[in-house]
Amino acid sequence: MANKLKNLKLSPPTKEFIEHILMKKFKAIEIPLYSIHPDDYKNDDEVDESKIYKLFTITNPDILNKICNNEEKEIFEDERNDKTEIDVPRDEITNNNLIDEHNKGYRISIVLESEDGIHVSHAGVYGFSEYLTMYLVALIGLPKREMVLNNVNDRGFQFNLECLKKHNFIS
């Protein structure tokens, strides 16, 4: 399996392709990049804030239910039962509101990066969905900064293979 992938000359998918999948398959909607505070992007070692170009969010309960596993749903139940904070109206998008809704499972957000302005080079997921994270890795791959391409001993490369297999992109 690794040898097959090593021999392929894969280019990252176009921005339009990934955005279309997010909107159609996951009913994601675009929200302003500033909905997440710029310092949060800078402090997130999994994204490169200089390459970020779009932010999408998923709030559809049916989709969230499908893309969250049982363990993630249990975490959300614990967070939702913790009524230490005053609830903010869900139609207001603020940084604190996003964080709260991510933690409670009411929302998952996806930040997209592009190195060349044409292709998606990385997607960061805010919130909890192993399914969505692995699906996006299968579609996009890991950024070069996280993976030594064609090195079967590299953990990032192995994770990329696992994501491709899980989502039936390879057998």
CA separation, residue 16 to residues 29, 61, 126 (Å): 14, 25, 21
With b for 16 or more beta-carbon neighbours within 10 A and e for fewer, the 103-131 pattern comes to bbbbbbbbbbbbeeeebbbbbbbbbbbee
Whether 29 and 91 have beta carbons less than 8 Å apart is answered as no
**Would you kindly state where each structural domain of the chain is located, as residue ranges?**
14-132
Token couple for 43:
């402090």
Question: 39-60 pLDDT, tens per residue?
Answer: 888 888 888 999 999 999 999 9
Per-residue confidence band for 31, with pLDDT thresholds at 50, 70 and 90? very high
Question: 83-125 pLDDT, tens per residue?
Answer: 444 444 445 577 788 888 888 889 999 999 999 999 999 999 9
